[in-house]
Structure 1
Amino acid sequence: MNTECVAEIDGLRVEAGGRAIVDGVRLRVRPGTVTALVGASGSGKTTTGLALLGEYPAGARVTGRVRAPEGLVGYVPQHPGAVLNPVRRVGALLWDIARTQVRHLPRRERRQAARKRILHTLTEAQLPDGDALLRRFPHQLSGGQQQRVVLAQALLLGARVVVADEPTTGQDALTKRHVVERFAALRRAGIAVVLLSHDLDVVRELADDVLVLRAGRVVESGPAARLWSAPRHPWTAALLAAHGAAEPAGPDGGAGRAVLRTGPFTARHGRTAVLRAPALTLRTGDSLAVVGRSGSGKTTLARCLAGLHRDHDGTLQLDGTPLPRSLRARGRGQLAAVQYVFQDARAAFDEHRPVLDQVARTAVRLRGLDRGAALAEAVATLADLGLGEDLVRRPPDRLSGGELQRAALARALLARPRVLICDEITSGLDTVTRRGLLDTLTALRRERDELCLVLITHDLDTAALASRIVVLDGGEAVEEGATRDVLKHPQHPFTAALLGTTAEPAATSGRG
């Protein structure tokens, strides 16, 4: 291995299912640097990153050379919930690692030393209130908190290289700044970071070197500053142009008929209140954005509306009729009326069945279509979202995270919902695809008069699509109002802080 590199890839080609997922990729990773891989969903970023851990798709044919420090490459996945044991508390997950590192100590000192290591690592990973967090199960954490727990695991292991797959996906602007500072600190400590990201603000702030991938090939590489100032490949220029494009402004609120009403309610995890939500009314043609930091209660609110979190004391009404709190108690029409698109799309698909069949199944079960008609509608809807029939006839593990997010949206649309809840569905997409999906949501709202949108997002640019905004902080609604009013004239200091950090997502890179 090159003595200046802690890991390297040379001529990597990975073939699966008769096609090359990556082809001829070359990568040099130096200690104390951040190397970013950018590109559209399905371009090969994750496959390249996982190669450093020696992991490849099942049945893949691999050629080329990959060299990395054995056992010392940490991985922070895009969907961290998939790698956290759901039946073990966070403390137990971290204890398994920490106890192996204190065996040299006298037995009476080991527990206290391991606990000290764990709490220190949680602080490094931007997870305050470690004692309370250690008692929780993974499902009781937000996506951002899960991500930071996985980072803590990598830090506990003493990783010399950290592969971070979309580490700011689903993060609010304030938390994003902390994540960037955390990876900048890893760089200062001499740890190499391989950053797989669609977030070009974060790439620009952190990366020393950038590789631009398209269809499995590196189309451009070089120092980050040079790529931004003088991109040489048309695809690089297209990514940067889409990133700089203005987002659509929030439309005026609809004045249609009430579809979904809620009373004020408190939601709990066990005995702990995690959300105090205001009364909400969603009307035909309306759209509501729920914004706030990771862990603020955004997803809990969405899950209450969808019947996925029944531990709350509120009332729900659909078209003036009581809507059961539990999904299991809702009828077929009620299930179709309120559809949820999850942030972790991969976990929402059966890994053994083709994506197309799963999308079409929604129209069969909830609308009574025959299989042929459902498949035809599914193919057309998926195509509208940029997913060709050949691609969606594959199982989920053959699609990228961004492709699965779009497939999950198509599946929800086949139910012909009245209320469509979108939980961070643009957070794992490249700038070009993200822009297209935002345009799709805007068009849906205009074309389907009976549809209400609920956008759960950390991203105020995405929130600008909505007619109204609710801002959550620490489980409390701190501000609510028309989108234009809240974005232009925030009344609460927390909202103002979110707006301020959106303009500069990472004010301090820590670069010397």
Structure 2
Amino acid sequence: MNTESVAEIDGLRVEVGGRAIVDGVRLRVRPGTVTALVGASGSGKTTTGLALLGEYPHGARVTGEVRTPEGLVGYVPQHPGAVLNPVRRVGALLWDIARTQVRHLPRRERGEAARERVLEALAAAQLPDGAEMLTRYPHQLSGGQQQRVVLAQALLLGARVVVADEPTTGQDAVTKRHVVERFAALRRTGIAVVLLSHDLDVVRALADEVLVMREGKVVESGPAARLWSAPRHPWTAALLAADGAVEPVEPDDGEGEVVLRTSPFTARHGRTTVLRAPALTLRTGESLAVVGRSGSGKTTLARCLAGLHRHHDGTLLLDGSPLPRSLRARGREQLAAVQYVFQDARAAFDEHRQVLDQVARTAVRLRGLDRGAALAEAVSTLAGLGLTEEVVRRRPGRLSGGELQRAALARALLARPRVLICDEITSGLDTVTRRGLLDALGTLRRERGELCLVLITHDLDTAALTSRIAVLDAGETVEEGSTRTVLTGPQHPFTRALLGKEAAVGVTPSGR
């Protein structure tokens, strides 16, 4: 290995089913730096990053060289909760690692030494209140806290390289700044970070070197400053161009027919109140963005509307008729009328069946179409979202996260809903694909005048697509108004912070 590198990839080629998903990738990772891999969903970023851990898709044929340090390579996945044992407290998960590192000490000193190591790792992972976290189970932590616990595990193991896979996906601007600070602090300790990300703001803030990938190949690489100012490859230029701001749409005139109406309601998780929502009215042709930090209650609000969270005391009316709180109590027409697209699209698909079949089944079950007609409509709808028939005839495991998000949207559209609820559906997409999806939603909003659109999002490009915005903080609505008014002249201090009016995401790469 090059003495200036802590990890290297040379000529990596990964084939699955005779198709190269990574082809000829070369990568040098230097200590105390951030190397970012950017590109479209399915470009090979995650496969390249996981190669540093010696992980490859099942049945893959691998050629080339991967050289890593003696210390383990740490991994922070996009959904950190998936790698934490749900039935063990955080303290137990970390002490298991720490105990193996203090066996050389006298028995009476091991417990305290292990505890000190755990607390040091939590502090290094930006969890200063780590002692209190040790008593909790993973499901009692926010996504950001889970991410920091996984990072602490890597630090305890002595990782010299950390692979961070989309660490800011689904995060609001405030939380995103904390994530940037977390990895900047890690870099200052001499640990190298390999950042896999669609979020160009975060890449700009952190990266020293950038590799741009497309269809498994590196099409451009170089110092971050040079790449941003003078991209040499057309695909790089397209990624940067698609990252521009979106003009807010004009507000609706409010004259559409009422589709969904709620009373003021309070929602609970167990005995804890997590949301106090005012009355809500959605009209045909209207679109509403619900924004807020993680844990602010925006997804709970959406799940109440969709019948996925029945522990609330509100009344729901669909076209003037009562809508049952629970999904299980809703009839076929009611199920079709209110559709929900989940943030974690992979978890919403059966891994053993073709994606196309699962998309088409919505039209069979909820609209009574025969299978042939449903398949034809599914292929057309998927194509409109940029997914070819060849791609969607695969099982979910062979699609990228962004491809699955678009497939999940197509599945909901095949129900011909009156209310379409989208929960962070652009969070896992590159800038070009995200812009294409936003354009598709804008077209959908214009062409389907009977549709109400509710977007749960932290992304301002997505929020700008709507006519109204509601801002939630700690389970309360702190601001609501037309999109143009809220985005250009936010009144509440939290809204200003959320929209970056008071501080932008920014950390100078390597402190230089």
The verdict on a shared fold, with TM-score over 0.5 as the criterion, is yes
Bigger mean CA deviation after superposition, 13-22 or 295-304: 295-304
Residue type of the alignment partner of 1:247: V
Distance 1:503-1:366 versus aligned 2 partners, 3 A rule: farther
Residue type of the alignment partner of 1:177: R
Query: How far apart in 2 are the matches of 1:119 and 1:332?
Result: 52
Matches within 5 A, 1:456-467: 456-467=456-467
Q: Deviations over 1:331-355 (max 9, x none)?
A: 2222211111111111111111111
Alignment partner, residue 210 of structure 1 = 210
Note the C-alpha offset of 1:321: 2.1
Does residue 1:61 correspond to 2:50, yes or no? no
Note the C-alpha offset of 1:440: 0.8
Q: Deviations over 1:359-393 (max 9, x none)?
A: 11111111111111111111111110101010111
Matches within 5 A, 1:358-369: 358-369=358-369
Alignment partner, residue 249 of structure 1 = 248
Note the C-alpha offset of 1:75: 1.1
Query: How far apart in 2 are the matches of 1:410 and 1:499?
Result: 30
Q: Deviations over 1:277-327 (max 9, x none)?
A: 222111111111111112222222222222222222222222222222222
Distance 1:510-1:442 versus aligned 2 partners, 3 A rule: same
SS in 2 for 1:178: helix
Q: CA RMSD in A?
A: 2.3
Alignment partner, residue 400 of structure 1 = 400
Note the C-alpha offset of 1:503: 7.4
Q: Deviations over 1:446-489 (max 9, x none)?
A: 11112111111112232111111111122222111221111122
SS in 2 for 1:46: helix
2:40–2:433 CA contact under 8 A, matched in 1: yes
Alignment partner, residue 18 of structure 1 = 18
Note the C-alpha offset of 1:108: 6.3
Alignment partner, residue 391 of structure 1 = 391
SS in 1 for 2:500: helix
Query: How far apart in 2 are the matches of 1:288 and 1:134?
Result: 39
Matches within 5 A, 1:255-334: 255-334=255-334
Note the C-alpha offset of 1:105: 5.7
Distance 1:487-1:108 versus aligned 2 partners, 3 A rule: farther
SS in 2 for 1:500: coil
Query: How far apart in 1 are the matches of 2:383 and 2:374?
Result: 14
Query: How far apart in 1 are the matches of 2:111 and 2:272?
Result: 28
Distance 1:78-1:447 versus aligned 2 partners, 3 A rule: same
Query: How far apart in 2 are the matches of 1:184 and 1:495?
Result: 26
2:350–2:396 CA contact under 8 A, matched in 1: yes
Residue type of the alignment partner of 1:422: C
Alignment partner, residue 446 of structure 1 = 446
Does residue 1:181 correspond to 2:181, yes or no? yes
1:460–1:502 CA contact under 8 A, matched in 2: no
Alignment partner, residue 496 of structure 2 = 496
Distance 1:120-1:251 versus aligned 2 partners, 3 A rule: farther
Distance 1:317-1:112 versus aligned 2 partners, 3 A rule: farther
Q: TM-score, normalised by structure 2?
A: 0.93
Matches within 5 A, 1:155-166: 155-166=155-166
Note the C-alpha offset of 1:228: 1.1
Query: How far apart in 2 are the matches of 1:497 and 1:273?
Result: 25
Distance 1:46-1:450 versus aligned 2 partners, 3 A rule: same
1:345–1:401 CA contact under 8 A, matched in 2: yes
Query: How far apart in 2 are the matches of 1:28 and 1:288?
Result: 45
Bigger mean CA deviation after superposition, 57-66 or 490-499: 490-499
Bigger mean CA deviation after superposition, 20-29 or 307-316: 307-316
Distance 1:189-1:137 versus aligned 2 partners, 3 A rule: same
Distance 1:488-1:96 versus aligned 2 partners, 3 A rule: same
Query: How far apart in 2 are the matches of 1:56 and 1:364?
Result: 36
Residue type of the alignment partner of 2:248: A
1:285–1:445 CA contact under 8 A, matched in 2: yes
Note the C-alpha offset of 1:505: 1.9
2:172–2:459 CA contact under 8 A, matched in 1: yes
SS in 2 for 1:458: coil
Q: Deviations over 1:76-128 (max 9, x none)?
A: 12233432334445454444434444555666665665555545544544457
Residue type of the alignment partner of 1:473: D
Matches within 5 A, 1:83-98: 83-98=83-98
Residue type of the alignment partner of 1:250: V
Bigger mean CA deviation after superposition, 486-495 or 49-58: 486-495
Unaligned runs of 5+ in 2: none
1:144–1:295 CA contact under 8 A, matched in 2: no
Unaligned runs of 5+ in 1: none
Distance 1:58-1:154 versus aligned 2 partners, 3 A rule: same
1:353–1:395 CA contact under 8 A, matched in 2: yes
Determine what percentage of the aligned residue pairs are the same residue: 86
Query: How far apart in 1 are the matches of 2:464 and 2:272?
Result: 32
SS in 1 for 2:171: coil
Bigger mean CA deviation after superposition, 300-309 or 93-102: 93-102
Query: How far apart in 1 are the matches of 2:274 and 2:504?
Result: 29
